[in-house]
A and B are shown apart, each in its own frame.
Chain A
Amino acid sequence: MNGFLLSTLIWLPIVGGIAVMLVGGHRPAMARGVALLVTMVTFLWSLPLFFSFDTTTAVMQFVESRPWVETFNIRYYLGVDGFSAPLILLTSFFGPLVVIAGWRSITKNVNQYMAAFLVMEGLMIGVFSTLDGLLFYIFFEAMLIPMFLVIGIWGGPRRVYATLKFFLYTFLGSVFMLIGLIYLYIQSGSWNILDWHTMPLSLVAQKWLFLGFLAAFSVKIPMFPVHTWLPDAHVEAPTGGSVILAAIMLKIGGYGFIRFSLPITPDASAVLDWLVIALSLIAVVYIGFVALAQQDMKKLIAYSSISHMGFVTLGLFVAFSIYRNTGGVAGAALGVEGAMVQMISHGFISGALFLTVGVLYDRVHSRMIKDYGGVANTMPWFALFAVFFLMANSGLPGTSGFVGEFMVILSSFQANFWFAFLAALTLILGAAYSLWLAKRVIFGAVANRQVENLQDINSREALVLGILAVAILFFGLWPQPLVEMLQVSVDHLLQHIVQSKVM
């Protein structure tokens, strides 16, 4: 069945989503059940991407390719390598979790809610697995629609502002990418991304393409200064929306840099790496300070996400400095692998944190820090999870949050002392905003009547948080399985990007 594996992963949730939609709004229990079944099957179906994945080659695996629109040479072309396979696994892993997390807290139009998430899951897997430029663009844009609906319908009071901001921001960015993609098609006569990787391009063309891609992916990941849509979107989104947004959607930006910017425009990346690095370091330090000042828990986590994504872009682009310094790429792979590890790990941790806030929000209906205090008194098990996730967020060794940051800091030290110096400030800033949050919300004396009446997490919530805690601990104590998947693809990418494509 390997011949259709990726197609199944894309279309099973989408078809399942339509099925859930057809269940109708009057049978919420059945909608939930079907949604859970579909996401579970999708997850199990995705496991061969790990167990049958060949870690010794950078060649695309699980390939499917057939013509789609022959006139324009557009193909339905799917395949995965060490970069996309872990991200697809992450996506399918979160499917059931999001369904379970919304089990009770969503009461309005349950079938539509679940359907939106299922369709979104399929589209996101599509983004990660497609190797055709136009198909990528279609998935990339189509994915916005269900998220737009999720925030717009099940969101908070300012959801209209947030959805418009979210949509326009990301749409504007991707329009520039579309121009780039069309240019690449005209030049090469092909939509095959892998063809674009090897196609020679002048430096000027590369620079324009690089900026086009940067516009799309910097908004998506998001980078300073085009990040301001994220806190608003998170604040208004329902818990499940925030989880998918933070855990998966942001990673599409990082994935875009890996799949498009670096291999298609390596010379421009080498010339303009200072820009990305500067913006990344600003994200780590400046956003770290901004996070410290937040009064809304979700906003705080949103800013923390931006700061953590700074490590992804930093890790991806330090390679060029190392190459200039040493003439080789030794040490650069740590950065790229660190960026990937950081993306996966941040998926778990930010997802867990948004779920944690969701647990409190379901009970108290407030996201403001000042409405809490002393939650540990009434919710001891919840407090255990919350403190653990916050510690992971501050990069505690033994949790996955440490691994990626550690690798990127080690790598950037090889590039430039100051990169490492500024990046390592996250050790202090990350701990400051994460643990200050813990102090104000979790610890302390019982702050008010509502906190006094809180019920500890039930077994459904404990299950979701527990699964994430195990994942975070597992990759913190033994990142080798993940790193092994990446290794060959990263080496291949690095060999590729240090060779000039300028004719």
Chain B
Amino acid sequence: MSLQTTLLLIPLLPLAGAIVAGIFRNQVGRAGSHVVTILGVAISFGLSAWVLYQQVSGTLDSVNISVYTWMVADGIRFQVGFLVDHLTTLMMCVVTFVSLMVHIYTIGYMREDPGYQRFFSYIALFTFSMLMLVMSNNFLQLFFGWEAVGLVSYLLIGFWFNKETAIAANLKAFLVNRVGDFGFLLGIAAVLLTFGTLDYAEVFGRANEVVGQTLSVPGGMEWDMLTFICVCLFIGAMGKSAQAPLHVWLPDSMEGPTPISALIHAATMVTAGIFMVARMSPLFEMSDVALSFVMLIGAVTALSMGLIGIVQNDVKRVIAYSTLSQLGYMTVALGVSAYSAAIFHLMTHAFFKALLFLGAGSVIIALHHQQDMRYMGGLRKYMPVTWITAWVGTLALVGFPFFAGFYSKDAIIEAVGASHRWGSGFAYFAVVIGVLITAIYSFRLLYLTFHGPEKFTVDKDCGEHPPPGQLAHDPEESPLVVTVPLVLLAIPSVFIGWLTIEPVLFGGWLNDSIVVLEKNNVLAELGEHFHGATAMAQHAIYTLPFWLMITGLIAATLIYLIRPSVADAIARRLPFLYRLLDHKYYFDELYLKVFARGGVRLGRSLWHRADAGFIDDGIVNGAARLTKWLAALVRRWQTGFLYDYAFAMIIGLIGILAVWVAMVPGL
């Protein structure tokens, strides 16, 4: 099998699965739909792993091939093609592995759902889109994948389309993403204007030639072209990777079924923005302004979103805010030019966050779709596998030494500390305090769910739709199709950091994809103090983040496990702060009022006043009224008497003759 065929099969197999499960849903049935999609994604993962193996063993260099020409317009060739370097391969493996786990898990989670085939079709379609995005070798295809994952996300958030909240959430998600894409598209237009091509290799190769070039904006402004490009592209990333203030769609996206919260809204799609900036590192490196902007946005997101997580009661929303905060960490890393650290955290986060979401999903099915943590507690004795894997995921998330998240998060914190970029002092503060906050909300979640007293009652006669907190029978551990993916995700959540930190961060494995200028290279600085993964973990107890994490653990244990009344007391003492966090800083209220309602109101008033009022009623119908009035006037002359008409004819004839005589010369 040629390399090109292999690379083509990787995205096309999930697509084929999606088509079979979607269009022929009635023919293949439920089992058929999951067999065909899982098979597609599994082979796709196998092939990705094979490409990775070849690249690790050095038998395969990075590949840049064109698949077909989309169009040639104005002398510009727009192509569809693959750039498979180490960065891409890593993303391909992460995407297909998490997707495979989610596919298997879905068999259990969606067992009773009438939209079973449709769901498999969507998640397979998502896998295809995401692969096209990460494998692209040009901006056009990147945008294709970018919008395609947005489309599938839209379809999946609104999967239960009878739920009003779900279809409000998916509309919101799509529109907020479109705001980001608006910037993204202008960025792409600027790339085309500057470089005359949308091909990565050419654009990146000539990035340093265009330094200092400006964009003259009518209105008397001159903007630095590369800064403009990078800021615009990053606005796209802010939409997709849910950075403040475009983060508002992600918490609401939890309305979708839990498997997609894990796959799309934690592990893969939301990291597309991070991936994109890392991919564009040759451009971003040329603009310190853009990088500072990236870093500050990330820092604000990391800190502010984590705080919200502390006060949420919906188990999925807590994890969603945690995701926002962790995406903020990755963004900060991008901003200090530690692109590899961002990608590294992206990878570890994909595993442990998917694990946490799927664990939450396992709890949710056991409690018959109860997501409110106020009706949970004490589940550890009913669901041991879910409980232990949730602990693994949490320890990885808070950055406990030796766990995956420890390595990636610590690297980011160290990198920010070493950076001299404008604003990095604030960013350092944000990511360090973030550790404390992460620990608080993570352990709070764990305690409220699995530990402490049971806050639900079991009543056999509570009927079909029991009130919250009542169950017809004891919660049970989920079936194997659910627990096996949990275990399979728990393994990398423990080991992947320890295993790969050296090659990914310090061994230069991503050097074929990522460009860092000498003056920005904070990771090289860290590398000088790096003496192996084990030593790094052992050294952790001498660092501030470790003790902040322990502080968070102790605080959470005291507040949520030992003395639950303390939490309410704090909330009562600080009503302003509590309300601010509970309302998520009032972003939703503001956007709803200004953009959603304001936009519709503007449209309505333009329609009634300008379109129907002024143009149509004023001018168009006004002209008709004027004609009518004139006609009424002229109608008086139509008397119906022959002599009137004869008279008029004679007058007319005389008039015409007079004009003729006057006009024709020589008569």
A289 interfacial by beta-carbon distance below 8 Å: yes
| A293 x B600 contact (CB < 8 A) | yes
| A420 x B69 contact (CB < 8 A) | no
Contact for A483 among B73, B143, B619, CB less than 8 A: B73
A294 interfacial by beta-carbon distance below 8 Å: yes
| B182 x A428 contact (CB < 8 A) | yes
| Distance A266 CA – B424 CA, assembled complex (angstroms) | 55
Contact for B143 among A293, A397, A425, CB less than 8 A: A397
| B71 x A420 contact (CB < 8 A) | no
Smallest Cβ-Cβ distance to B223: which chain A residue: A417
Which B215-245 residues sit within 8 Å CB-CB of chain A? 215, 217-219
| B189 x A431 contact (CB < 8 A) | no
Contacts A443-B158, A444-B161 given; does A331 touch B599 at CB 8 Å: no
B611 interfacial by beta-carbon distance below 8 Å: yes
| A398 x B70 contact (CB < 8 A) | no
B74 interfacial by beta-carbon distance below 8 Å: yes
Q: Which residues of B contact A403 (CB under 8 A)?
A: 71
Measured CB to CB, the closest approach of chain A to B255, in angstroms, equals: 12
Q: Which residues of A contact B175 (CB under 8 A)?
A: 428, 431-432, 435
Which A286-300 residues sit within 8 Å CB-CB of chain B? 286, 289-294
Contact for B185 among A337, A427, A477, CB less than 8 A: A427
Contacts A290-B603, A290-B606, A409-B189 given; does A445 touch B162 at CB 8 Å: yes
Measured CB to CB, the closest approach of chain A to B453, in angstroms, equals: 37
| B611 x A424 contact (CB < 8 A) | no
Q: Which residues of B contact A337 (CB under 8 A)?
A: 73-74
Q: Which residues of A contact B558 (CB under 8 A)?
A: none
A225 interfacial by beta-carbon distance below 8 Å: yes
Q: Which residues of A contact B154 (CB under 8 A)?
A: 435
| Distance A444 CA – B167 CA, assembled complex (angstroms) | 7
Contact for B603 among A291, A413, A480, CB less than 8 A: A291
Q: Which residues of B contact A424 (CB under 8 A)?
A: 182, 185-186
A334 interfacial by beta-carbon distance below 8 Å: yes
B53 interfacial by beta-carbon distance below 8 Å: no
Contact for B75 among A330, A425, A428, A432, CB less than 8 A: A330
Number of interface residues of A (CB under 8 A): 61
Interface 0/1 of B168-186, CB less than 8 Å to A: 1001001100110110011
- Residue with the greatest number of chain B CB neighbours at <10 A, chosen from A330, A409, A410, A416: A410
Which B72-89 residues sit within 8 Å CB-CB of chain A? 72-76
B459 interfacial by beta-carbon distance below 8 Å: no
Smallest Cβ-Cβ distance to A413: which chain B residue: B189
Which A430-477 residues sit within 8 Å CB-CB of chain B? 431-432, 435-436, 439, 442-446, 477
Contacts A290-B611, A418-B218 given; does A428 touch B178 at CB 8 Å: yes
| Distance A285 CA – B512 CA, assembled complex (angstroms) | 43
Q: Which residues of A contact B185 (CB under 8 A)?
A: 406, 409, 424, 427
Interface 0/1 of B605-621, CB less than 8 Å to A: 01100111001100110
| Distance A439 CA – B164 CA, assembled complex (angstroms) | 9
Q: Which residues of B contact A442 (CB under 8 A)?
A: 161
Contacts A289-B606, A416-B218 given; does A479 touch B616 at CB 8 Å: no
Interface 0/1 of A179-205, CB less than 8 Å to B: 000000000000000000000000000
Smallest Cβ-Cβ distance to A285: which chain B residue: B606
B570 interfacial by beta-carbon distance below 8 Å: no
- Residue with the greatest number of chain B CB neighbours at <10 A, chosen from A292, A409, A416, A479: A292
| A435 x B162 contact (CB < 8 A) | no
Can you list 9 contacts pairing A with B, beta carbon distance less than 8 Å? A290-B606, A293-B607, A331-B193, A413-B192, A427-B185, A435-B154, A435-B175, A439-B167, A446-B162
Interface residues of A (CB under 8 A from B): 165, 169, 225, 228-229, 286, 289-294, 330-334, 337-338, 374, 376-377, 387, 391, 396-398, 402-403, 406-407, 409-410, 413-414, 416-418, 420-421, 424-425, 427-428, 431-432, 435-436, 439, 442-446, 477-480, 483-484, 487
Interface residues of B (CB under 8 A from A): 68-76, 143-144, 146-148, 151, 154-155, 158, 161-162, 164, 167-168, 171, 174-175, 178-179, 181-182, 185-186, 188-190, 192-193, 215, 217-219, 599-600, 602-604, 606-607, 610-612, 615-616, 619-620
10 closest A-B pairs by beta carbon, nearest first, are: A293-B603, A413-B189, A292-B603, A289-B603, A333-B74, A293-B604, A443-B161, A443-B167, A397-B144, A228-B616
